[in-house]
Structure 1
Amino acid sequence: MSTATMERFSVSRTLHLARWNTVLLVRNRLALSYALVFPLVPLPMLLLGDRGSSTLGISAIGGVLLLAGLFPVFYNVLSQFVSRRDELVLKRMRTGETKDGELLAGIALPGILCALLTCAVAVPIAIAGGQMVPVNILLFALGAVLATVMFAAFAYWTAAWTRSAEAAQLTSLPVIVLASVGPFVGGLPALSENVREAISLTPGAAMTELVRVGWFGFDGFEATTSTLSFAETWGLAGQPLLVMLVWTVIALDLARRSMRWEPRA
């Protein structure tokens, strides 16, 4: 990116747009509840089984991370972008000083902050529910940040073929299924090693693996005891972090190639 391009990007305009989108999100109580409350729904699982069970902990905490990416970020950004595109808001704003990157960041930031807030709140709740203190809380935080960026990229990619905000209920399904197959299917013991390896390359499976490694310090899929130190978790986190990064780059590239700023004919 050139210096001139960097100079054209205005942080102040981006934050102004983000504040404006935050106000709209707060006014929509249903969307706000989906953003702040729904991602925490998996946490009561910690009280339904054996207190301190790592299996329940991985499912619950991984579920929070997944839902925080899907609802405050992916679905919220998708519906907001498509709605503003259909109302010609984006077209009008692009005729002024506002740059494309500022528009995209301004739409995504409120959902990203909501997602990171729910992930932060989940930490003390999970510990109070009997789960161990995270071995590497920085790795968990890094995974949460990367997940939000990844799902924002997925949202802008999906917006390319979404005709209306109502249609987003259907067009969002491929990404939701792609993200959910790992956590819901990847843990089945009957899966062959080849199938498990393939599933590990999906976004949701990578996020779950980050929880296993970063929070619980587990070394391998079948591990049930924390054996990794803080430093060792960084080494094993390389693959899931790379998987999430690759998906982010793919989604951003596809979004860039297919982005539509005006309503579809």
Structure 2
Amino acid sequence: MIAALGLAELKLLLRNRTAATLAVLMPLAAGLYFALGVGGEDDSWTMVVTLQLLFSFGFTVYVTVTTALTARRQDLYLKRLRTGAASDVVVLTGILLPVVVLGLAQALVLLGVSMAAGAPLPTRPDLLVLALIGGAAISCAAGVCTSGLTGTAELAQITTAPFFFAMIIGGLMGMSGGEDAWVFLIPGGGLGTLTGAAWGGPTDHVLEALASVVAWTAVATALSTRFFRWDPRT
């Protein structure tokens, strides 16, 4: 059931040119620019890979989840699925799964591009894996929450902007090692610290970074249960 829903959602996503551009072309174009236009110096690659991950999660997962759930709710697709045999969890998982897989795949492709362009291999691959999983989890949960506050799919470009830019800013501030504890209060701060540590940066604040990622995921999930709507907004 989940696989069938996921395949159907992927087809709907690719048929929508605007959504497909935001989910596929925008992160890839930005990631290629970062690797080929900004990378080159040894001390710049950490920023490049951090931006690549954040843009993959921000555009491909967060914005796409928000847009997709809002659009499916407004055209009563969610309501029709809910009246069937599938549970609420199965319905949401089927819709979210292809977006999450697409985001992770894009992040890995862009990391491969950076490696080919001269970026060093991560010294702590385990921390990179945690950053990938944590970034997908935060973005997915935040997307479900934001969809409940978004009236139409067109408005998603506006309602997602605050959290998206907070992730980017927090990630760039955290990649240097997270010396300031308040950085972990910003979404993306923990992700940036984990990514920086994976590429040879300080590991002194890895535990705080993990706690930040878990906390933001938990907060976004809790808010999702409060704000998410199955019926169209009036």
User: Could you tell me the TM-score, scaled by structure 2's length?
Assistant: 0.89
Q: Structure 2: how far apart are the matches of 1:78 and 1:48?
A: 30
Higher helix share: 2
Q: Which residue of 2 aligns with 1:257?
A: 226
> What SS does structure 2 have at the residue aligned with 1:157?
helix
Distance 1:140 1:184, change over 3 A: closer
Structure 1 position 69 matched with structure 2 position 57: yes
Distance 1:209 1:184, change over 3 A: closer
Q: Which runs of 5+ in 2 are unaligned?
A: none
Deviations 1:118-174 (A, max 9, x none): 111123221222211111223212211221121111011111221111221221122
Superposition deviation, residue 44 in structure 1:
3.3
Q: Structure 1: how far apart are the matches of 2:60 and 2:93?
A: 14
Superposition deviation, residue 113 in structure 1:
0.9
Q: Which residue of 2 aligns with 1:217?
A: 200
Structure 1 position 158 matched with structure 2 position 142: no
Query: What amino acid does structure 2 have at the position aligned with 1:181?
Result: I
Q: Which runs of 5+ in 1 are unaligned?
A: 1-12, 220-232
Aligned residue among 93, 99, 107 for 1:111: 99
Mapping for residues 46-125 of structure 1, pairs under 5 Å: 46-48=35-37, 51-54=40-43, 56-125=44-113
Contact 2:22/2:60 (<8 A) preserved: yes
Distance 1:130 1:158, change over 3 A: same
Query: What amino acid does structure 2 have at the position aligned with 1:258?
Result: F
Contact 2:34/2:51 (<8 A) preserved: no
Q: Structure 1: how far apart are the matches of 2:16 and 2:24?
A: 12
Q: Structure 1: how far apart are the matches of 2:152 and 2:174?
A: 33
Aligned residue among 216, 222, 240 for 2:209: 240
Contact 1:52/1:129 (<8 A) preserved: no
Superposition deviation, residue 29 in structure 1:
4.1
Structure exhibiting the larger radius of gyration computed from Cα positions = 1
Q: CA RMSD of the aligned region, Å?
A: 2.2
Q: Which residue of 2 aligns with 1:36?
A: 24
Contact 2:144/2:228 (<8 A) preserved: yes
Q: Which residue of 1 aligns with 2:137?
A: 149
Q: Structure 1: how far apart are the matches of 2:141 and 2:157?
A: 17
Aligned residue among 105, 109, 114 for 1:126: 114
Distance 1:46 1:68, change over 3 A: closer
Distance 1:207 1:134, change over 3 A: same
User: Could you tell me the TM-score, scaled by structure 1's length?
Assistant: 0.79
> How many residues matched?
231
Query: What amino acid does structure 2 have at the position aligned with 1:45?
Result: F
Superposition deviation, residue 79 in structure 1:
0.9
Q: Structure 2: how far apart are the matches of 1:187 and 1:119?
A: 17
Between the aligned residues of both structures, percent identity stands at: 29
Distance 1:217 1:90, change over 3 A: same
Q: Structure 2: how far apart are the matches of 1:170 and 1:47?
A: 29
> What SS does structure 2 have at the residue aligned with 1:203?
coil
Superposition deviation, residue 27 in structure 1:
2.3
Query: What amino acid does structure 1 have at the position aligned with 2:5?
Result: L
Q: Structure 1: how far apart are the matches of 2:89 and 2:151?
A: 22
Superposition deviation, residue 49 in structure 1:
5.5
Query: What amino acid does structure 1 have at the position aligned with 2:181?
Result: E
Query: What amino acid does structure 2 have at the position aligned with 1:209?
Result: T
Deviations 1:210-250 (A, max 9, x none): 11111x1212xxxxxxxxxxxxx6x7532212211110111
Structure 1 position 22 matched with structure 2 position 7: no
Query: What amino acid does structure 2 have at the position aligned with 1:132?
Result: P
